[in-house]
Structure 1
Amino acid sequence: MTVVLTERGPRDPARRSPLGLLVTPLLLAAACAALWLYLRGQDLDSIESRSINRDVITEQLLEHLRLVAASTGLVIAIALPLGVLLTRPGLGVLGTPLLMLANIGQAVPSIGVLVLLAVTVGVGFQEALIALVLVSVLPVLRNTMVGLRGVDRALIDAGRGMGLTRTAVLFRVELPLAVPVMMAGLRVALILNVSSATLATFTNAGGLGGLISTGIALNRTSILLTGSVLTAVLALACDWLVGLAERYLRPRGL
């Protein structure tokens, strides 16, 4: 039993293989290089040159990253503690109805939340940030609760039997064992944030959605392709980073 818990063996070679960890970044770099070569081979007109130059792309990419980073940070700060609280014995009765509400709320389209907030609250960075949090908080909350509820009760009782307090059992037994499920929810939330942030351009919050909407409005394929490829690359890069964190946060032996 000791060997199983301390040795990964051949079950997860990508965790220790540098080559396995570099596949995704190399593919993303190749996609960016292919986009650059495509744009260099095009005879860009004045409109395209003004829309996809270095300054504009950098500005919109940074706006997009600010939206994603701020909304994801708020989601983690809200959903993780709330998910933990709703699995504790005193508040467990509220967990099931809120989990059902989270499952229903996941079906609400992102554009609907953005438009509703724009009409009722206004437009701008803060309004788009609220919409992104509302859209992406649900998978993190749901997976936190599901992950903690899925921990074997025998392991919790064993920890208590060893003299650990409830808080120690939570941080040393329950949360480590729930990491894979919790990180899966965070990956979903990040991808939702990156994709939904493209819609923030319609609420005057900036982001790569500006390139996409400009390309559609002006029928410029090069502008549309630039915004779409960069958004996809950013989403996959975020997913890879969370997956990398999961490899090193999950307990050995899982």
Structure 2
Amino acid sequence: MSRKNDRDAPPPVPERLPTPAVDAHTHLDACGDGTAADVTALLDRAGRAGIERVVTVADDLAAARWAAEAATWDERVFAAVAIHPTRTADFGDVEKAEIERLAAAERVVAVGETGLDYYWDYSPPDAQQEAFRWHIDLAKRIGKPLMIHDREAHEDLLRILEEEGAPDTVVFHCFSGDADMARRCVDAGYVLSFAGTVTFRNAKGLHEAAKLVPPEHYLVETDAPFLTPHPFRGRPNEPYCAPYTVQGLAELRGEPVDVVADSVRSNAERVFGLSSSQTVTST
């Protein structure tokens, strides 16, 4: 097989984790064809690797509708809905009303992903910040966790959370800060979700952050189809790849894989109120 084809090939399904875990942030709609049968296949593959539940996350209105509906197709799937900061240039009353309606659904377990992204210039900072404040308020009003997207915006995110008053539960999806940022987040009571980036060899600051986070303050995610863990960086990502990140996190922390996997599972259950027995009903 050519080197190019190697890069295009999905990673192998890893050895099953010794204890089940949860993928705290994925985009199932971007991992396959978006049908109920495909969602089942994605979760079956994940289950063979020990990832028994996932939170599929929206970044625009169409994705929010899909995520809320997909969470009714399979008891292993839960959803988070919001408008991504890069899509907030035209964030008006119609979008707000629809996100608020969807966020109230039982199997929608978080408001996200919302936050700030200063890397891309698709939406001006003022519009992003206004939308972020609205999502903070929504999360507080409905009593659900806030799932944050943070790209090159650490200081403004922390400032706005302090100004608005953070919800009871805040998750920094794909945490990208260093040890100092991690300490500040943990001191504020926030939860840090580590993606495949924590396994990248050049992510030294992130490695130090992962080492110091208390066991009750971290999650693991894929952010699939992006951010595939080392040694498969650049290949297609799916929830079944999360064990590679669990393994990498365990190595960084000097802890057994089963201990880290168990923390990931129990933290996700606490943070999102996950239960496989929640009734699946149409939105």
Q: Which has the larger radius of gyration?
A: 1
Greater fraction helix: 1
Shorter-normalised TM-score: what interval?
Answer: under 0.3
Q: Which has the bigger relative contact order, CA under 8 A and spacing at least 6?
A: 1
Greater fraction strand: 2
Normalised TM-score (structure 2) = 0.22
